[in-house]
Amino acid sequence: MKAKSIPSSWISRDGLRLDCNPYMSGALEARIKLEELPYPKEKLASLCSNGIDGIYHAGRESRSWVEDSDLGVPFLSSSSILAADLSGLPLISKRQVRRNPRFLLRKGWTLITRSGTIGRMVYSRPDMDGLACSEHVMRVVPDEAKIPPGYLYAFLSSKFGVPLVTSGTYGSIIQSIEPEHIAGLPVPRLGIDLEEQVSRLVELASGNRSDAAKRLEQAVSSVKDILGKDEEGPAGETPCAVVRSRSLQARLDAFYYSPISHKARRSFDTATNCQHCLLSEVADVFIPGIFKRRYASDPSYGVPYITGGDVFQVSAMSDRYLMKRVAAENALQVKQGTILVQEAGQLGGLIGRSVYVGAQLDGFAVSNNMVRITSIDPKDAGYIYGLLSTPEGVTLLSREAAGSSIPHMDAGRLKAISIPWPHEDVRHKISMIVDSAIDLRDKASEAEKKARSLIERAIEEAT
C-alpha cells in the first residue's frame, strides 16, 4: 500500500479535493515545479484551435457498424489508438460519421484516453488522418499559429504533463476526465528554438511510424501475391462446412474445419513457385511455461516486463521489472529478430497476431502468452513474419489453439504447420522490407523519447 504525507496547504490550493489521486500522482509537485519555472506559462485552452472548443470528444451515441469498406470508416477505440498496426480495424458507418464529424481525426492532434485507463497519449500521425475514433478519447487540437503541435504533445506526454492531465480524473468506479478538467492546465513556453526542435522530433517519429506501416503493408501484400488465389468463392458465404469423418481424428472443434480456415489452408497449399516445409524446419518455436511473477523493486535487479497486449503498442514501455533470475529461468527475454505471436485469447481478437521484435524490445521480458518464433536463418525472419501476418497466416495460427473458454496454442501443433517457401531471393527481398520498417519504428521511438527528454531536462535545469 502506498502512503504519502502532504501539507494541508496542498488541499486548500487544489480546491479542497479529498480524493487521493491528485496528491499520489505527482500532479501537485509538477504544478509547483512549473510555477517556479522562470518561463511564461499559458493555459492549454488558449493554445488550442477555438479555445476550449479545441478540446473535445465525439460524444456518446450508439454506433452503426458495417462490413463493406465502401460504406464505412476505420474506427479506433481507446486501446487501438496505441497500436502500431492499424490494419483490420472495425468499420463505423460513413453516414453516422457525416452526421457527427467530431468522430474524425486529423494528423497533428494529441489524443488522450479519457475514461478507464486515463492519460495514455499518442500523436495523431499521417496514417490516422481521416479515421474515426471513440468518444473515450479526448482530442486536443493545437492552434499552429500559437504553438508547434509536436511540442504540445511532447509536453503533455512528459513526466510533468501526464500527472497534470490525470489529476483532473473524477468518479469512483469508472473514472473519466472532461475538456474543462484540463483546459486550465499550464503549458510552459520554453523558447521557440527548443519548441521547434522538439516538434521536429515528434513529427519525425510520426512520419517514420506511418512509413513503417506502409512498408509492412507492402511486405504482407508481396506475400499475398505468392499465395494461391481462391477459386471457390469468398469464404464465409456459409458458416457450415462438410468434412469426412476420418478428418476428425485429430481435431473436433468447428473453427478448425470452418470455410475461412479451409480457404487459408488452401491458399498456403497452392502458393505459386514455392516449395513447402514445416515451420519447425525453418524456425525454432517455443512457448514458455506458466511462472510466478516476482518483481524487483530496484530496476537494477530486474528486467523490464511487458504483457502480450503491450507488445502491440506503438511504443511499448514498462514500469515493472521482473527479477532477473525469474526471467532467466523461464527464458522470457526476447531478442531482436524474434517473432512474437499471441498464443491465447478469443478467436477474432489478438490471438494469432504477430509482432516483430526490433531494437526497442530487445532484452525485454515478455509474457508466457506469446509464442517465440526464431528463424534459423536471420535473413528469413522478415519473410516468416510477413507470411504469418497475412489474414491467412493469422487464421492458420489461431485455428491451432484449443480450449473452450480461453483457447491456447500448443508449440507442437505450430511446428507442424506447413508453409510456402519460395526462392531465397524472394524471401530475402521481403525480409529487407520488413527490417527497414522495424528500423523506422525503432528510430521513431528514440526520436519521441528524445523530444520528451529535452523538455524534461529544460524544466529540471531551470528550477
Which is higher by pLDDT, 15 or 257?
257
Task: Report if residue 159 sits inside a domain.
Answer: yes
pLDDT of residue 172: 47
Q: What average pLDDT is seen over the chain?
A: 89
For the cut 70, the answer to whether the pLDDT of residue 311 exceeds it is yes
Q: What is the pLDDT of residues 123-159, one digit of tens each?
A: 999 999 999 999 999 999 999 999 999 999 999 999 9
Q: Is there a single domain that holds both residue 129 and residue 259?
A: no
Give residue 311's domain range.
Answer: 228-270+275-421
**Among residues of the chain, what percentage have pLDDT more than 70?**
90
pLDDT digits (tens, 9 = 90+) for 92-119: 999 999 999 999 999 999 999 998 788 8
Q: What is the mean pLDDT of residues 388-403?
A: 93
Residues 197 and 264 in one domain: no
Considering the domain architecture, whether residues 153 and 253 belong to the same structural domain is answered as no
Q: Is residue 172 part of a domain?
A: yes
> 179 and 84 in one domain?
yes
Element (H, E) at 439: helix 424-462
Query: What are the CA-CA distances from residue 210 to residues 129, 195, 204, 215, 290 (Å)?
Result: 11, 23, 10, 9, 36
| CATH assignment of the domain containing 141 | 3.90.220.20
Whether 173 shows a pLDDT value over 50: the answer reads no
Sign of dihedral through CA atoms 10, 12, 17, 19?
positive
Per 3-state DSSP, the chain is made up of helix, strand and coil in percentages (nearest 5) of 40, 15, 40
Asked if residue 49 and residue 160 are part of one domain, the reply reads yes
